[in-house]
Copies of this chain bind each other. A is one copy, B any other.
Amino acid sequence: MFSIGQLSKRTGVKIPTIRYYEQMGLIDEPERSEGNQRRYTKDGLSRLSFIRHSRDLGFSVEDIRGLLDLSQHPEKPCSDAHNIATQHLQDVQSRIAKLRRLERELKRITKCDAGNVATCAVIETLADHGLCETEH
């Protein structure tokens, strides 16, 4: 049996976040001690690790709900899990693409070596979209 603090240390999920996940229904309400404190089992630990890991990989709480559900049913086909993961991969890839365009633009405008704001490329570019190289 683990206290919420022990669970937190083992998984790296902060205590308020664990309680938040409970409220969101991602993890079951655990048993309580006589004094009403949460007491977790190994099952609770691995479920939370699963969640932590999925969050690290950037899955949304809703995605995780689906993935957790699937993980409870080993006999199901795993195409659903693949769909969730593949969709997420695509999201990640399009975010990367967008950030790379930003990076390019920011690199360009931060090159400016003007002395004051009147002729500064950063300010000038922000004031006038026409000076940009790419769409964003």
Contact = CB atoms under 8 A, between A and B. Distances in A.
Contacts of A75: 116-118
B127 A78 contact: no
A112 interface: yes
Given A78-B116, A126-B50, A85 B106 contact: yes
12 contacts: A70-B123, A75-B118, A78-B122, A82-B110, A82-B122, A84-B122, A85-B109, A85-B122, A88-B106, A89-B103, A95-B99, A96-B99
Contacts of A136: 56-57
A76 B116 CA distance: 5
Contacts of A56: 136
B102 A58 contact: yes
A76 B117 CA distance: 6
Interface in A77-125: 77-78, 81-82, 84-86, 88-89, 92-93, 95-96, 99-100, 102-103, 105-107, 109-110, 112, 114-118, 120, 122-123, 125
Interface in A23-82: 46, 49-50, 53-54, 56-58, 67, 70-71, 73-78, 81-82
A99 B99 contact: yes
